[in-house]
Amino acid sequence: METVPEAHPRRKSIMTRHALVAGFEKGLVCGQGLIAQGRGEAFDYLLGEETNDFAKDASEAAAAMLLLARSPVVSVNGNMAALCAREIVLLAGEVGAKIEVNLFYRTDERVERVRQALSEAGAKRVLGGEGRGEVKIPELFSERRRVSRKGIYSADVVLLALEDGDRTKALVRMGKKVVAVDLNPLSATSQAATVTVVDEITRAIPGIRFAAAGLRRANRKALREKVRAFDNRKTLSRALKRIGARMRELSGELGRG
């Protein structure tokens, strides 16, 4: 893999691209996943390429929700596995969640690659792609409808990222709570989720884990209060306001030139 000088101003972003392209070459990431990352980068740029306060607040609510859950599941796709497999395993361990592979562009081979990446990152058990153990989510027509009976199907809280929106809506209709990580506050996923962490996935997953570690000693009443006080509409509105403020900031800089 090409190296990027330590001092390069866009090093982090370039390294992330390298990780995705390497994942693509290994058959982990699909071609469309590379396009999805490009859209994410554009929003990340507008959001200042940092974890904003609204994302920190959402991570706290997400952590509380996962800790309160009876059967939490982290749903993993190709991009997530290529960018943060190890962090996903650590988060699942912190909140006692199962890990399940669920792909939009599903092939048996790619399910296997994602399972393998998660196992190599330390996952003891990975659900998804088990054939007879799978069931279909009602009213969902993409390949994402095939889920594990012991995982997403029976979960009460599902954490997902880089989604197309339909599945989030279907999961919410099934009575589940959905924690979504999505850099686009306007996406159907962001709008339909119970808690949306508007942040880049490689920052968001460790962010939720740190929040969960900080809440480990909190009692259930305090966790419930944290979840109750959270308002996803307001969070998305704060994200949009941040984009607006940053546009004004950047256009002011141009105006001074």
Residues within window 144-163 making contact with ligand PTJ, judged by CB under 6 A: 161-163
| Candidate segments 99-107, 126-134, 209-217, 233-241, binder of ligand PTJ by CB under 6 A | 99-107
Nearer to ligand PTJ, 54 or 104 (CB): 104
Nearer to ligand PTJ, 59 or 68 (CB): 59
For the chain, what is the largest distance between any 2 Cα atoms, rounded to a whole number of angstroms?
Answer: 64
For residue 177, the cross-strand partners are: 157
The token duo for 159 is 């954490």
Instruction: Tell me if 181 contacts ligand PTJ by CB under 6 A.
Output: yes
Torsions phi, psi for 74 (to 5 deg): -100, 120
> What's the burial of 188, exposed, middle or buried (CB within 10 Å: 0-12/13-18/19+)?
middle
| Rounded CA separation 203/211 (Å) | 12
The answer to whether 163 touches 182, Cβ cutoff 8 Å, is yes
- Give the shortest CB-105-to-ligand PTJ separation in angstroms: 4
Query: Which residues contact residue 250 at a Cβ distance below 8 angstroms, ignoring those fewer than 6 apart?
Result: none
Instruction: Tell me if 183 contacts ligand PTJ by CB under 6 A.
Output: yes
**Secondary structure class of 94 (helix, strand, coil):** helix
User: How big is the chain by its Cα radius of gyration, in Å?
Assistant: 18
Query: Which residues contact residue 24 at a Cβ distance below 8 angstroms, ignoring those fewer than 6 apart?
Result: 30, 31, 33, 34, 82
Instruction: Tell me if 77 contacts ligand PTJ by CB under 6 A.
Output: yes
The token duo for 73 is 């599941």
Determine the residue with CB nearest ligand PTJ: 40
- Give the shortest CB-252-to-ligand PTJ separation in angstroms: 26
Nearer to ligand PTJ, 87 or 163 (CB): 163
The number of residues that bind ligand PTJ (CB under 6 A) is 25
- Give the shortest CB-222-to-ligand PTJ separation in angstroms: 29
* Interacting residue with ligand PTJ among 23, 43, 51, 150 (CB under 6 A): 43
* Interacting residue with ligand PTJ among 24, 164, 174, 240 (CB under 6 A): 164
For residue 146, the cross-strand partners are: 136
* Interacting residue with ligand PTJ among 72, 78, 129, 151 (CB under 6 A): 78
Residues within window 102-121 making contact with ligand PTJ, judged by CB under 6 A: 103-105
User: 3-state SS of the chain: helix, strand, coil percent to 5?
Assistant: 60, 10, 30
- Give the shortest CB-193-to-ligand PTJ separation in angstroms: 12
* Interacting residue with ligand PTJ among 59, 75, 148, 187 (CB under 6 A): 187
The contact set with ligand PTJ (CB under 6 A) reads 30, 32-33, 36-37, 39-40, 43, 77-79, 103-105, 161-164, 181-184, 187, 200-201
